[in-house]
Each structure stands twice: as structure tokens, then as C-alpha cells.
Structure 1
């Protein structure tokens, strides 16, 4: 899986086809539960924040069999209840997450079998730039969260090899989900392509794939922990030490307070496959994971450039607890605080001192992941002082080992992509990917001269530390 942003996406030209999906006339949707992440996302969109969409894209041989693809799209939506929800604005106050409304926003669910699908045979593009511009415009228009659907089924048909595209507002998806979309759409389409499948498929999948619909209980309000739970106290202590403010990247980015600027995206390899394997072995010997080693190296790189001796950040973690949830499409993540102590400088203390640093980072990461059991709304509601947001963006570092996710063995052959919208930024956000090719990062930052200098130097130093660690 290649993780990119829309500004760096390079879809080859061809016939662009999209589908409009509309609720059936006279059908009344039913209330659906709203998660904390979804609520905050919708409140941001309601306040004017730009659309935040995530797109799964992959290639198939030959021109697109449009009937087979529409059938596959229909079945994908039918098998995942999270794709049938619509965000709505509601009058009045909050009735809580379980009631489907909070702060004037809520969710309702449509019956997939009543949806009306209409195909649009769009333009034949001649350049990568024109193809990208057309698709990004369609994704931004169609994947806005309010109204139904907040997703875009699409394809780029070519004589030799085509691209299937399924874009979703963040309301419907997370990074893990893109792998499920690619894997299931590829199987659903492959079972139908060239077989004369009609555009209108029967309700639900007609193949051997197991239907993995969203468990409604997974979207309900998570169970609260006790007021004296040490995990809640850890959350409070982390925020108290920061003056009740969420983490910000500690090096200069050149954005004045209160401003956001267009984002810059950088894709960078941090370690090739042999180096990543060596880092994993070194970390394992110290009782840590590869992700802990990557995070410890990041903290050291920040300190090398004049940053603090302890790096505070937030870490998204998935909440998929069983095999069924692994095949679910939805926004199934929470966020935990992470504090990483800096290790020795590059080239110094590569022996016991570095192993001690790795062990400490592994312990910190394990402890942070235990905090995922604490509902974020409980953290916020139980604070003795209001939570402060120094910037719109939050300094966070995501780590995802795609080798453990659905469809990873076929992802390279499918030329699978995770494409995110390019919007505005005022802080640094990092998405680290582990694949068979090694460790890579997508960095999202403000497009300023200061941020370019700072982040490019950071990525160089980060890669250097990983190379030394794996040497």
C-alpha cells in the first residue's frame, strides 16, 4: 500500500467514470450511533473546515467492466453498515453519543437495498494532471460529510490496465479500512468481470466472501473507566504537564499563531527492507517493537535539531479487537498520549545505552496503548480545566504495519494506493508505514520556507538514526 496525498497522486489518464448514489424516494432513515471521533469531525466540518477524504485506489487488467464494477460497489456498500450512514445537522442540544446526536450533529442509516445508483460516463483525460484535477474536484465535492453519500465510487478505464477508485469522507473510514476496501473490491470485481454481470446485483454479496457488517455495538459509546482508574490519571498528568494543551511539534514551522496555510506533503523512505529488518531484530532483543524503535529514533532526531529531551505526541491506535473487526470498514481508532525520552546522539552509545533507550521506548509505547481503553470523551469531560488547542492540527505520529493487514500480499501487484485530501496545515503530522519494502513516512506540514527546512532536516536525521540503529 502506497500512502500519498492528493497533491502527489499520479493517476494515469483514461475515461473517468463516476456513480451518483441517492437514497430511495419515500424511505425514512433510522438513527445510528455517533462516535467521539465522528462527532468532532462533523463539528469541524460544520464550522467550515475543508473536506477530509481518504481514497482507496488500485489497478485491474483491461478496460473496466462497468456492470461488474457497479455490482461490486453495491455489494461493498451493502456488506458494511458504516457506508450506509449519513451525517445530519440536528436542532437543539446534545443527547449523547448513544442517542445519535451530539452538539447538533448526528447520524442516520439508509437501507442499502433502497439506494438508487446512476452512472456518469465522464471525460477522457489525456494527462496525469488533468486526471488528478478532475478526480480531486469530484472527491472534494462528493466526499463532504453532510448529506448522502459521503463517498465516491469511480474508475479510470483504459484499454490495457484500469484503476478502480473508492473515495470516502473520514466519517466512513480510517487507514486500515482502505486495505479492506481494496481487498474486497478486488475480489468482488474479479469474481464478476467478464462474466456479463448485470449492473443491478442482488441484495448482499453473491460470492463466497464472508459478509462482515459493522457490529453496531462497536460504534456505541465505549465503557467508562472508574474515576480513580490510573489510566485516566495518566491522561490527566500528561495534559497537566502541558498546561492542559494538546501536543504541538516543538521545532519551528514558520506559521504565525492562529493561521493555517496550504499543506506541503513529503513522501520519504526512512529505511529499506534489510535496515528495517535489522532495526526490528535490534528492538526485539531489547524487548521493544519496530514501532517503538521508529518513535525513539524520531525523538532523537528532534532533539538533534534542538528539540526537547522528551518528545510529547499523540498516537492513533486502532480499536479492532477481533477477527471480524479486522474486515470492518469504518473509523475505528482512538488516540493515546505518548512521551518518548531521547536516546544518545547518532553514532554515540550504539551499545547498551541505545538498547536501554529502546527498552524504555517499548515500555512507554505499551503503556500508552493501554490508555486506548479510556474513552476520549471521558478524558475531556473529567479535566479540571478546559482543554486548550494551541493549533488547529495536532502533532501526531501514526504507525501502521501494512504487512499485517488484509490484502497485503496482493497490494503491490494491484498498485494499491491510500490517497488523502490535501488541505491546510499549521502543524506537523506523520504517517509511518511498514511494508515489505521497508519503512516509509508521509509527512504533512505547512508550506512555508521554515517548515521545509525544518522537516527536511528532521527526515534526514531520522533516517540516519535508523540506519545507525540497524547497522
Structure 2
């Protein structure tokens, strides 16, 4: 493990700056296991010294990795239920060294999870670590872990790309410039997520129609966020998680599904939403309502890529609602959700004390890595590394790569949830495979009126 030492940045404001809405909510829950995310990838056959130097250069490139979070002391004496005041502070890296972790016989995945549970927590100084495992054949796998406050899935790909770009440079050249896999020169520094937070604070308030739409969403949910529409059993307290990863479609299957979407006049996501609505109808689960994360990396006019190469939590939450299987209406619902997520959340959710903590919450995430402007060489074999957590809700990720589509589902380990969520995920998979023309796959069927417009 490469362990960095840090110190307050010279001239930094002693009180720091306000953290983002999501950072404050995340860190406000306190230090706890499983608050991190991580990515593994193969590194070139170079020495640990050069890998450590490359990591230092990547840290220098990303201002977000030179910030830490603290809790304002006033929060400790605030009345119960008062939101904790979280601040972000600028730091400098003063040094770093490699330290061996584990005994060499324990499963590296267990060692990493234990390490990241302790080191990659919201108030870590810093809250990230780089590790390298050497395999019997001499190859090396690097893993970068960081607390969620400082990154998202897009950020992980940025870090992998930048590490490989630096390691791919010539030591004789001093690696003064960073080059991407396609030979495009990358700037030595990119905007920090803290700059993005301050930019949001300067934006005008959301229009009345957006405020009214959020008010209706919250009223429909009795002041809570959308919940999984089928029974999860006793989730009065978080339960151990169950994580299922399903290979839904191969490359040809994704191409066939894209062709079906094109024929319906939409993209893949709305067509997938039509399947989800059909599953809800078939399971008597009512309207599809789910928390829907959208990215907030859209830069200003004239610089739309401003945040594309930055590291940070560039995600905001919206709500996706749809009760029609017509792909065009699903397309409109997706556009509506993206529009709702295009405005800072804190002012919109202030009447409800921020985003309400909701047991049984249901969230859907869509990540098409093929469309991201950040690309990582396939030979690096990048893979997300998951924490183990306890949960009381359901989270589903649809992930598309060059080798196909996967559905990853996380839910609480109760007999009821294993039954209902397991059935839900199987029906979603079958519905998508049917649209892609897989032999033997059955289309999702609800009542006749609801499914009249399902393309099959």
C-alpha cells in the first residue's frame, strides 16, 4: 500500500468551504465501513518506485485528491436531528511510502476491504489509498480505493486512465506531459470538485415548474423517496447485503437491442425503462418510481467538457416515474428525470430537511461505459471493487461495456427480498433478452391495455 502524508495547504482558509449537498449527507452519517468505492487494473511491468511516483503525479493533477472533509465543531453540540455541518479543506501531500499489508496468505480481497474500511472513510487524512498486488506470474494489479465523497464511477475510470498514461511515458522525458491512450495530450491539472460545488452555489434557483414537480414527487411518496414496490420483509434495521451480477446480453445482444430501440425511435435506456414498467405491471407493482442518479458534469456554454476529466462526486439524484410501456413515453420520462436533476438539490429538498432517509428505497443507475469520453485500454482489465455493507433498500445498476450488458442488484438479505428482488431481476433480464431476440426468452406481459405498445 502506498500511504501518503498530508498537511494543510499554505494560505488555505482555516474554516475551509462548505461541502456539496451529497458530500454533507454522506459524511454526516459518520465514519463507517463500506463508504468507499474502488477500481482494480493491471499495471505495466515497472518498479514500485515508479508506480508511487505516478500516483503522486496523478494526485498533483487532481485538486479533489488534495482536499479532505471535517465536521464543524459546532455540529457536535447541535440539537439531535440537526444536519451536521461538513467542511472541505485544501491540503498538500508532503510525502508517501510503500507499506506491506496482509500476511501474504489471506485472500487479497479481504485484506483490501479491511484496509479500505479503515482508511477510505469520509474524514480520512486523506481518504484514499493505492495498493499493488504482485501475482505468481510476475504481473501486478493496482487497486485505487477512495471514499465516495471524493469520487464516482466515472472518476474511477479517470484515475485508471491517468495512472496508465503516466506509467506509459518515458522516464527519460521526465513525464512532463500526460497522454491518453489515443495520444491526446491531457492538461497537467483539472478543475477540482470543490470548484464545482461553489459553481453550483452561484447558479440561479430552479424554475417554479421544477420546484412544483419535486413537491408533487415528495407528496406522492408521503415525504419519502421512492421505495421498492414489492415486499422486502423486515428492514427496520439494515441487513447484510445480497449482490447479484447477471450477464444480461452479450455484444450481439446489445446490438440487437439497440436496433430495436432505433426502430422504436428511442435509445437503449428508454427501451429498458419500458421493460421495467412492464415488469411492474406483470408483478402488480404499480407505477415505476425510482431514485435515478444523473451526472452533473455538464460544463458551461463554450466549455461543456470542463468537468469531464475531473475526479469527484459529480452525481445528483433525480426521480424517474413512468407508467407506460410505450418507448416514446418512457423516453419523455427519462428526459423529465434528467431535467429534474439539472438543478442543485439542496434548495429543492430543503422543505423535507434534505433527501429523506427512506427504508426500502429503490434506485436505478444506468452506466454506458462505451459512451463516456474517458476510455481505458481493455488490456488493463479494469474492474469495480465493491465494499460489503448492510442495507435496507434496493439498488440496481445497468452497466454496458464493449463485451455486453450486465445487471447488478444489491438488496437486503431477507427471505422476502431474496424472493421478490430475485424474481424482479429475472423478469427484467428475460424481458431484455426477448427484445434482443434471444431464443427461448419470454417477453414481459402485463395486462393487455398496458402492454399493447411493447415492441417484441
Name the TM-score, length of structure 1 as normaliser: 0.82
Q: 1:371 to 1:25 in 2, by over 3 A?
A: closer
Q: Give the root-mean-square deviation of aligned CA atoms.
A: 2.6
Q: Specify which of 278, 288, 298 is matched with residue 311 of structure 1.
A: 288
Q: CA deviation at 1:19?
A: 1.6
Matched, 1:111 2:92: yes
Give yes or no for contact 1:53–1:170 (8 Å, CA) kept in 2: yes
Q: Which runs of 4+ in 1 moved over 6 A?
A: none
Q: CA deviation at 1:206?
A: 7.0
Q: Specify which of 340, 343, 360 is matched with residue 371 of structure 1.
A: 340
Look up the match of 2:209.
230
Give yes or no for contact 1:53–1:143 (8 Å, CA) kept in 2: yes
Q: Specify which of 87, 108, 120 is matched with residue 99 of structure 2.
A: 120
Give yes or no for contact 1:52–1:420 (8 Å, CA) kept in 2: no
Q: 1:419 to 1:179 in 2, by over 3 A?
A: same
Give yes or no for contact 1:180–1:406 (8 Å, CA) kept in 2: no
Look up the match of 2:230.
251
Q: CA deviation at 1:119?
A: 1.4
Q: 1:337 to 1:26 in 2, by over 3 A?
A: closer
Matched, 1:399 2:366: yes
Matched, 1:141 2:118: yes
Q: Specify which of 369, 375, 388 is matched with residue 408 of structure 1.
A: 375
Look up the match of 2:30.
45
Give the distance between the partners of 1:233 and 1:394, measured in 2 at CA.
22
Higher relative contact order (CA 8 A, sep 6+): 1
Give the distance between the partners of 1:374 and 1:138, measured in 2 at CA.
36
Give yes or no for contact 1:287–1:362 (8 Å, CA) kept in 2: no
Q: CA deviation at 1:83?
A: 0.8
Matched, 1:21 2:4: yes
Give yes or no for contact 1:154–1:164 (8 Å, CA) kept in 2: yes
Q: CA deviation at 1:407?
A: 4.8
Give the distance between the partners of 2:258 and 2:8, measured in 1 at CA.
55
Q: 1:137 to 1:409 in 2, by over 3 A?
A: closer
Matched, 1:56 2:39: yes
Q: CA deviation at 1:104?
A: 2.8
Q: Secondary structure at the match of 2:318?
A: strand
Q: CA deviation at 1:55?
A: 0.6
Matched, 1:437 2:403: yes
Listed one character per residue, the Cα deviations across residues 18-74 of structure 1 (whole Å, up to 9, x for unaligned) are: 02211248967542441100010010125xx53411112101344x51111001110
Q: 1:375 to 1:229 in 2, by over 3 A?
A: same
Q: CA deviation at 1:334?
A: 0.7
Look up the match of 1:186.
164
Give the distance between the partners of 1:227 and 1:330, measured in 2 at CA.
23
Look up the match of 1:84.
66
Q: Structure 2, unaligned stretches of length 5 or more?
A: 77-82, 180-184, 299-303, 438-456
Look up the match of 2:47.
65
Give the distance between the partners of 1:307 and 1:227, measured in 2 at CA.
32
Name the TM-score, length of structure 2 as normaliser: 0.84
Matched, 1:271 2:256: no
Look up the match of 1:360.
329
Matched, 1:241 2:220: yes
Q: CA deviation at 1:123?
A: 4.5
Q: 1:119 to 1:404 in 2, by over 3 A?
A: same
Listed one character per residue, the Cα deviations across residues 288-331 of structure 1 (whole Å, up to 9, x for unaligned) are: 221111222123223322311x1111110111112231111110
Q: 1:287 to 1:326 in 2, by over 3 A?
A: same
Q: Specify which of 153, 161, 164 is matched with residue 130 of structure 2.
A: 153
